[in-house]
Every structure is written in C-alpha cells, then in structure tokens.
Chains A and B, each alone.
Chain A
Amino acid sequence: MPWGTTPADVRPTNRSARSVLLSGLWVASFLSLASNLSAEDWLQFRGNNADSVATGEGPAKLDRTAWSAPLPGRGNSGPIVVGDRIFVTASSGHNQDRLHVLAFEAADGKLAWDRQFWATGRTQCHPKMAVASSNPASDGQRIVALYSTNDLICLDRDGKLLWFRGLTYEYPNASNSLGMASSPLIVADTVIAQIETDDDSFAIGVDIETGETRWKLDRPHQDNWTSPIILRGSDREHDVVALQSSKGLTGIRPKTGELVWTYTEGASTIPSSGAGAGMIFVPSNGLTALASASPAAIPSKSWRMPQLGPSNASLLCVNGRVYSVTGAPVLIAADAKTGHVDWRLRLTGTFYASPIVAGERMYCFNDSGLAQLVELGKERGKIAGQHDFKESILGTPALADKAVYVRSDQHLWKIAD
C-alpha cells in the first residue's frame, strides 16, 4: 500500500500494532492514540488526516438541518468534532479583540460553554477576513485555537485553559494587516503553526502538553494563508509534515522541525496542497504532482498541469483522483497518477471553503452560502442537490457521524439525514 493511503481513522496499522507489542513505550503510545482519536471525529482543518476525506458516510440531502445555533461576533474558521461536541472559534467586540472558543452538543446544538480571551496581537483584517479564520484542532483530548492575532490557546474539552501563547506578543512583527488564516495541525503531540508574514515569518512546533516551544523555523518573508498538511507514514513515528509557501513545499519531522526535503519551484499562498496515493498535489505552476517512495523521501515531479490550478479552495485526492476547484469555478477531476482530466463540472459562486468528501459525495459551500452536493461518478460529476443557507460561508465544513457541520458568521448548522 503506498504511503498516504492510510485509513482516515488514523488507527495504527497491523504492522505498527505488532511494533507496539515490542516496547512498553509503544504500548503507551498506542493506548493514547486509541483512546484519544475516533473515526467519528473531525479533528482539524480538512479532517483527521488534513486530507478533506471523511471515513464514514455523509448526508444525502443538504436541506435537512438537524439544528442551527447562533454564533457571537464574526468568524470564518471551520468547526471540528471531538466526541459528542462541536468546537468553533469566533471573535467579537468593536475591535474584534474578544476571542471565543465555543463548544456545542452535537446531539441538539445546545451551547455547552463559551470561553473568552483578550487578544494580545493585532486584530486588523480585510473586511472579508476575520480574526477567527483558522480552524481549531484537537488531539482528541485538548482543543487548540489559533487566531489572526496569533494567540494560540489550548483548552481541555471542558473549557479549562491548559496554556496560552501570544505569538505576536512574543514576536511583535509577526502580523499581517490583511489578517491571517493558516490553520494549526497536531501531529506527534506537537502543535504546528505557520505564522508567516511579509515581516517576521516563522513556523513553530509547540509541545501540546506544556505549550513550550519544541522548534521554530525561519520561513519566507511573504504573507501566507496556507496550512500545513500531513504525509502519513507507515506508523505515526514516520509521519512527515509539509509546509507550503511562495517558495514551494518543505517536508519536516513534526516533533523536531528537522528538514527532510524541499520542493523549490514555488507555490500558491492561499490554497493548500493535498496528499494521497503516495503523492503530493501542490498548487504550484497550476497543479504539480510530486511522487516519492515514502513521506521522508525526496519527492520528484510526476506531472504538471497549468490548467488544473485551484483558486482559493485546497486540493484533495481520494480514490485515485485529484480534485481542484478553479476560479471559473469548475470542479476538475483528474487521474492522480497521470493528471489526465476525467471530467469537469461547472459550480456556482466563489469558493473559499475547501470541499470535503465522504464516499462518492463531495460537499462544496460557496461564499454566499450556497451548498452544492456533487456525486463523484467515474465518467462524470453531477450536482445532486443544493441548498442556500443565505449567509456567507468561508470556513471548511466538518463531517462526522453522518452529519456535516458548517458555520457562517452568524450560525453553526448540523446537516444530517
């Protein structure tokens, strides 16, 4: 099985399970993973593997709203699902300097708690952006929230603060007057955040237990809204994280920040890369596919298709196909190995939210709130349903337990059959 085809539930493979038996340390690690993570969770931006692919099924209709819950202030971040709760971030106040982490009950949408914090960094944003634009992330036990102010906050599932880092407070020139939106990733008990701006610019790995810095890397001095992706190895010890920037893509060890490879032919600073089937799909010179023997091996260019470049939404690969939403907007399905375009499908609107997939269903939300359900056929794609939520949606939805969760500035919705 090529790397990158690890089942999305991130449970150890049989091989890694055998390894577990060899070491008491590995036993502890295995138990920790098994207890913290569930296939029914959606733990971070674009899901548990940051690949936009859900393990289970999704709803067949978009107009079946199980519940909706009001949200305070503003926010473009997507929700995450951890156990029985949905976690969302927002900001409020005249200066948008009140940061919220909110927990809702998945069953009925009841607000479980709303914890608030005072921003320690700058709140200036483009009107389309929001201080709460980065997705939160979780390791199954802890909730990590990042804001455009570069406040990085870790809570337990009951809302108790575990640590608080003010990364602009610590590095005052780490800010972007348009606003920041890169989402953090949790891999190897390390919170990885890209704080990349025209001025001070870095990626940081923070110990999720203590909030202390494990590593910090200098990064290109250019505003960057892309998020890191995970390249799943044969077991969790062999995962690699890829950091995207205008210069290209950089593979690092998540726990140490050690550089393992670089791709230097440039890349977009808005849509993020996708990975799957042992390949990396980079929004670089259109769309560039990289192949390698393992996540840590130096990737080589497999193919490049200038016309497949995505606009704002991130790339995804599932079942041997790579999907890209162009600026037209057209959803293009291409063969992951060759780049051959299998079909094109016209969508409606402008997309900032990245599409997500469950089985043969893809869920696309445009920025005016029109949800479009696409059936991913072999020969062609088909719009199988639409529903207008009538509010601007920029955050990537979550999918867990056969339900889609999506938010606007004002509301969080649960869509379930």
Chain B
Amino acid sequence: MSMRTWSRSARALALAGSVVVLSLIVCGPIDRVPAAPNDHPSPGIEKSLTTIRSVDKQGAGHEDAQRAMRILVAADASNLPAILKAIDQATPLAENWLRNAFETVADRAVSLKQPLPKEQLEAFVRETSHNSHGRRLAYEWLIKVDPTASARLIPTMLLDRAEEFRRDAVALRIRDAEKIDAKRDKTQAIKVYREALSGALDDDQVKTIAQALEKLGEKVDILKHFAFLTQYTAIGPFDNKRGVGLETAYPPEKEIQLDAKYDGQLGAVSWQPLQSHGDYGMVDIAKQVKNYKGSVMYLLTSFQSPTMRRVELRLGTDNAWKLWVNGQLLFSRNEYHRGMVLDQYRIPVTMKAGQNVILLKICQNEQTEDWAQMYQFQLRVCDLNGRGIRSGEAAVAGGR
C-alpha cells in the first residue's frame, strides 16, 4: 500500500472514529500490504530508491543501500514500476542493486502466484525513453506471466534503441525472410532481408543476412554498414624497443603538422596516406613498416559531425594504443597479443559540431612467437546504441 493510499484509509478511519494506530499494527508494514499497481510509491520506497541510486565506487553508500534494500525487497509487486523507473537515473552500479530488488520482489510474487502489474510493465517496455536495461528487465518478467507479449512487442522493435530488443527483432525478420525465400519469392525475400539488415547491429546477424542476399544476387556493403573509418594519414615508426614507446610523447602528440619531418626509429619520417583494406576496415601496419618490431606508429583521421553529439569510438586491436580526439587523450591501453575482436574497446566521447580530429597511437612489442606478430587495428564511430555512424551523417533521434 502506498503512503498516499494509506493516507486516504487513515482519513476514512478517522472519520469513522476508529483507532488508526490499531490498524497499523494489524496491517503490519505498510509496504507489504497488497495494493493495485500505482505510480506513486510510498515515501519509504522512494527514499530507498534514492539511497540505492547513491551507491558509488569503492563501496561508497553500501551500508545505507543495504538498509534500503531490506525495505525494497519486502515491498509488494505494485512497486515494481517504481523500481524500474529508478533505473532510468541509475549508474551501472546502482542499476544492479535495483535489478536485484526488482527480481527478488517479482520472483516472490510469481512463486506465490500473485499477479505482476502486466499493463504497467508493457507500457514501460513500449516507452523508448526509458533505460534500455530497465525495459529489457520489464520485458523478461512480463513474458514470464504473459508469453503472448513477445509477439506484440518484438516485431515493432527493429530500430529500437535497446540492442537486445533490436537483435530479437532482426532474428524474427531473418526467419521471416528465410520462409519467404523457401517459397522462392525472391523479390519479397530480398525486401525482408534488407529490412532485417536495416536493424542489424551484431556481426553474426549481418553476416547471415549478407550471405543470404548474396545467394539472391544482392551485394551488401559491410564496410559502409558498420561505418568503419578507412582513410588515414600515418607517420612512423618511432621507437618502442623494450616497451618504451607507449609512454614516450613523440612529436605527433605535441603538434599535428602534416608537412613536418621528424627523426624516427629508422631515420626521417613524414606523414603518408594509408587506407584500410577489406570489408571490416582493417589497417595492417605490419605490411607498411620495415623492421616493425618494437615500434610505434601514429594514425590520423577525421570525423565530420553535423552537431555536437555523444558517440562511442569502437576500436579493435592486438596492440597497445592511445587515442585522442581533438587533442584530448581518451584512453591508454598497455596490452599486447591477447586477441582482437570487432568493437573490442568502446570509448565514449563527445564530438563537436564540424571537423573532429582523431589520433591513434599504436605500438608493437618485440615478442617473437607466431601469434604475436599482429600489428593492426580497425576503428569506427557508433551512436550509443551501437549503430555505425558515417562521417557527415546526421544524428538519429534517441540515445540510451
């Protein structure tokens, strides 16, 4: 029962000349009383949600959050929408506290065969301004009590902001296309595969669609789909013997002067054009540099943004690296030859309106094993939902 509801009850009791205190004792803790779904949780619940949202790094706020959790997990299922809503403003740490409170309350309700607020859960899923994690949590509990919700919701989510919903919707479209293709309706199959591709963010789904379309005589431009950056200007090699290079600030870190010459590892070096190869925007440094072991290279590229916007730079590499945008160091990573995958590193950054200068420093060490010879990277710009953005492309409304 919410405080608002209780207040109404109390007023009614007072009017009837009853003893309010007695009603509290009989009813027990107010938040345990079953109640209809409501948008206005009790002050106790609200305060607990606020407390949990305050947890921070180093265990800050844990003891208060533990007390708040005791209140939250004792709440009834009518408070589930309020917990979901609290996830909207939560940090990644607080999200997990709130998720656990939600699951504990929902799990108890389901095991006791008590209803979940289905309509409110579905409304929460449909409202795309909510946090993607919260929406997915609502969806997964909704379909436990209403399996029909999946067929209502997923087909509409092809371009959803939430990656998991989008993946489900793409998978559905792929299955549809396969059925159509099996009936030899080529034109319709191509149309549905193309629809699926428009929502696809994950490489496995993109590959599945591209292969199916290729069999139907259609070529997919994967490089363009993922929006890899392909044109670079490179300079190097500089010295990285004994691993000294990553933390040594060579001239390109101090100035960007494309007509300059500097002393490099093997003599004078100057900026040279360099292009990626293949569908996945791979830049293979090993093929560009003589005696490349124990070296540093710098690669410069640019990204045109029509407006100021928050994006993610997504980098894959086997090598140690540093990354700057518009002169600001974003991240430094000192790891070699532990594997490379698409979108291995996701680095958030705010792009300014206009031209943005991206500088990548990439280092090769002196390991001699066969598996330690890679000297390569791939780089792209994505929106916060994982969709590749091409330079100059306008922003799509939304964001997590």
Contacts and interface: CB of A to CB of B under 8 A. Distances in A.
Interface stretch (B54-62, B228-236, B260-268, B356-364): B54-62
A113 interface: yes
Contacts of B334: 173, 198-199, 221
A169 B103 CA distance: 23
B69 interface: yes
Interface in B328-343: 331-336, 338-341
B202 interface: yes
Interface string A199-241: 1000000110011110000000101000000000000000000
Contacts of B92: 118, 120, 166, 169
B185 interface: no
Interface stretch (B2-10, B20-28, B93-101): B93-101
Interface residues of B, number: 37
Interface string B124-157: 0000000001000000000000000000000000
A410 interface: no
Nearest to A170: B57
B198 interface: no
B97 A164 contact: yes
A47 B69 CA distance: 31
B100 A199 contact: no
- The residue in A124, A153, A159, A173 that gathers the most chain B C-beta atoms within 10 A of its C-beta is A124
A165 B59 CA distance: 7
Contact of B97 (A120, A161, A177): A161
Contacts of A197: 335
A118 B99 contact: yes
A199 B93 contact: no
A94 B333 contact: no
Contacts of A124: 339, 341, 344
A207 B100 CA distance: 21
Contacts of A160: 69, 73, 100, 104
B293 interface: no
B194 interface: no
Given A169-B57, A198-B334, A210 B339 contact: no
Interface string A325-357: 000000000000000000000000000000000
A141 B202 CA distance: 41
Interface in A275-289: none
B62 A161 contact: no
A24 interface: no
A115 B103 contact: yes
A166 B164 contact: no
- The residue in B95, B101, B103, B336 that gathers the most chain A C-beta atoms within 10 A of its C-beta is B103
A170 B104 contact: no
B253 interface: no
Nearest to A101: B100
Contacts of B59: 163, 165, 206-207, 210-213
B167 interface: yes
Contacts of A118: 92, 95-96, 99, 133
Interface in A83-121: 93-94, 113, 115-118, 120
B66 interface: yes
A169 B93 contact: yes
Interface string A110-153: 00010111101000101000000000000000000000000101
B66 A198 contact: no
A212 B58 contact: yes
A111 to B, nearest CB: 11
A351 B344 CA distance: 29
A126 B202 CA distance: 18
A52 B100 CA distance: 33
A177 B331 contact: no
Contacts of A116: 99, 103
Contacts of A221: 334
B99 A117 contact: yes
Nearest to B94: A164
A178 B339 contact: yes
B67 to A, nearest CB: 12
Contacts of A115: 100, 103-104
Interface string B314-338: 0000000000000000011111101
A396 interface: no
Contacts of B164: 93-94
A173 B333 CA distance: 7
Contacts of B93: 120, 164-166, 169
A176 interface: yes
Contact of B62 (A126, A170, A178, A212): A212
Contacts of B58: 170, 212-213
A153 B59 CA distance: 12
A7 interface: no
B63 interface: yes
A60 interface: no
Contacts of A166: 57, 92-93
A211 B63 CA distance: 9
A74 to B, nearest CB: 15
A170 B202 CA distance: 27
Nearest to B132: A118
B284 to A, nearest CB: 19
A28 B62 CA distance: 24
Given A118-B92, A173-B333, A213-B59, A161 B338 contact: no
B107 interface: yes
Contact of B335 (A165, A198, A210, A213): A198
A130 to B, nearest CB: 14
Contacts of A153: 96
Contacts of B101: 161
- The residue in A118, A198, A212 that gathers the most chain B C-beta atoms within 10 A of its C-beta is A118
A178 to B, nearest CB: 5
Interface string B21-56: 000000000000000000000000000000000010
Interface string A162-203: 111110011011001110000000000000000001110000
Contacts of A210: 59, 62-63, 66
A212 B63 CA distance: 9
Nearest to B318: A177
A161 B69 contact: yes
Contacts of A94: 164, 167, 202, 204
Contacts of B104: 115, 159-160
10 contacts: A93-B164, A116-B103, A117-B96, A118-B95, A160-B69, A166-B92, A170-B57, A177-B344, A198-B335, A210-B59
Interface of B: 55, 57-59, 62-63, 65-66, 69, 73, 92-93, 95-97, 99-101, 103-104, 107, 133, 164, 167, 202, 204, 331-336, 338-341, 344
Interface of A: 93-94, 113, 115-118, 120, 124, 126, 151, 153, 155, 159-166, 169-170, 172-173, 176-178, 197-199, 206-207, 210-213, 221, 223
Given A160-B100, A176-B335, A213-B58, 15 more contacts: A113-B107, A115-B104, A116-B99, A118-B95, A120-B93, A126-B339, A159-B100, A160-B104, A162-B69, A163-B59, A177-B335, A177-B340, A177-B344, A198-B335, A198-B336
